[in-house]
Amino acid sequence: MDDLDSAIVLIPLLAVLAPLAARAIGPWLRVPIVVFELVLGILVGPSVLGWTGPSHIVGLLSEFGLAMLFFVAGTEIEFAALRGRTGRRAIGGWFISIALGVAVGMLVAPGLGAIVIGIALASTALGTLLPILRDAGELRTPFGSAVGAVGAVGEFGPLIAISILLGSHRPGVATVVLAGFILIAAGAIWYAMKVPQGALHRFVNATLHTSGQFAVRVVMLILTGLVALSIALQLDMLLGAFAAGVLWRLLMRDADPADREAVESKVEALAFGFLVPLFFIYTGVTFDLAALLDDPRLLAMVPLALLVMLIVRGLPSMLAAPERASRRTKAAVTLLGATGLPIIVAVTAIGVDAGLISSGFRSVLVGAGMLSVLLFPLIGMSLRGDRVARPAEPAHDRA
């Protein structure tokens, strides 16, 4: 069985096993499903059992899964959280993080390699945090708003930095191109906000339970359209995916709540039932564990990189903590702000493909990101106390 054939069989199997494993240990330890997906991918990949390996077709599908992950993250953005004191401090904290991250990068990689490392260290996995906050009843609290602002800036800021600093254009040209993309996206967003969408909503409602599935088809059109535009402009495709999520949310903002929730459930089923698990499992398959095991220095750097993430991204995130917050709350914001993985996976892949960082060093950063997703939310929410609104299966990580 070649790599493509084995991947077609194994990835769906692992996608089923991951939530079962998370549920099995749920009574004792709440571990995000993405951790199991990554670990299972590593287990069947070349580094351990060797049952499957890299495949061009599966790799393309996994890229679309990553785009879908950022689309869903775009739909979750709460713009109100970016206003006022919390928003200003979240933005200021991110600029501190990117400066510190690049400074750290300069110590271990030359030139643009330092930019890759800086962006990775300055990221926050908003999609990982939102389901955790929702399940804990914290999404609408001051604490949840602060973490949401930190996560939004920690996800959108790196996308802008990737497009300007790591694209094929020179930074000055890239800024102009990015401005053009923003103008186009802003025009579409203006249309979504100003033009009544009653006809769209009625047609969505009429096809919710038919083979037409107009809403899902429009979602895919918006997603592929803005991703294609970002690629054509030689920007990072994730920027287009993120903007597509924002646009779709605005198009549906005045729809009947029941219809909107029905559409969201269909999109999430497509994303987290197929495409996103494929991305994380394939990331595990292609994870260079052998590079870490063959070089004890690289392996020792994983916990060090985790500590650096906590300092570079976590401590500046604390600036956005609610006013008069307790030390425990500030520590929780610090830990959740330092939780990162999807941007780390994406930007380090760009760095390896461009020869800016080694595959082994990518494994160090991705390994640290995996540990951050496993440890930081668990410890951070424990500091907030047992505020879980209802028993639930471990939420899937969304970017």
CA distance 111 to 105: 9
- Greater confidence (114 vs 354) lies with 114
pLDDT for position 210: 80
Q: What percentage of the chain exceeds 70 in pLDDT?
A: 92
Does residue 124 register a pLDDT over 70? yes
Does residue 213 register a pLDDT over 50? yes
CA distance 132 to 137: 9
Per the prediction, the chain carries an average pLDDT of 83
Phi-psi region of 45 (alpha: psi -120 to 50; beta: other; left: phi over 0): beta
> At 398, is the pLDDT very low, low, confident or very high (cuts 50, 70, 90)?
very low
Does residue 245 register a pLDDT over 60? yes
pLDDT for position 381: 85
CA distance 366 to 374: 12
Across 44-53, 83-92, 163-172, 237-246, least confident range? 163-172
> At 336, is the pLDDT very low, low, confident or very high (cuts 50, 70, 90)?
very high
pLDDT for position 308: 96
pLDDT for position 98: 95
Average pLDDT, integer, range 312-337: 92
- CA distances to 346, 355, 356 from 170, rounded to whole Å, are 20, 18, 16
Average pLDDT, integer, range 348-365: 87
* Token pair for 229: 């535009």
Q: Are 34 and 42 in contact (CB under 8 A)?
A: no
> At 389, is the pLDDT very low, low, confident or very high (cuts 50, 70, 90)?
very low
**Those residues with Cβ within 8 angstroms of residue 353's Cβ, 6 or more apart along the chain or in another chain:** none
| Domain 3-164+274-384: CATH class, spelled out | mainly alpha
What is the 3-class SS of the chain, one letter each residue?
CCHHHHHHHHHHHHHHHHHHHHHHHCCCCCCCHHHHHHHHHHHHCCCCCCCCCCCHHHHHHHHHHHHHHHHHHHHCCCHHHHCHHHHHHHHHHHHHHHHHHHHHHHHHCCCHHHHHHHHHHCCCCHHHHHHHHHHCCCCCCHHHHHHHHHHHHHHHHHHHHHHHHCCCCCHHHHHHHHHHHHHHHHHHHHHHHHCCCHHHHHHHHHCCCCCCCHHHHHHHHHHHHHHHHHHHCCCCHHHHHHHHHHHHHHHCCCCCHHHHHHHHHHHHHHHHHHHHHHHHHHHHHCCCHHHHHHCHHHHHHHHHHHHHHHHHHHHHHHHHCCCCCCHHHHHHHHHHHCCCCHHHHHHHHHHHHCCCCCHHHHHHHHHHHHHHHHHHHHHHHHHHCCCCCCCCCCCCCCC
Average pLDDT, integer, range 153-160: 88
Domain spans in the chain, listed from the N-terminal domain onward: 3-164+274-384
Across 61-70, 132-141, 143-152, 228-237, least confident range? 132-141
pLDDT for position 170: 60
pLDDT for position 55: 82
Average pLDDT, integer, range 251-278: 84
pTM as predicted? 0.81
Average pLDDT, integer, range 297-304: 91
Average pLDDT, integer, range 202-216: 81
Does residue 388 register a pLDDT over 50? no
* Token pair for 69: 């992950």
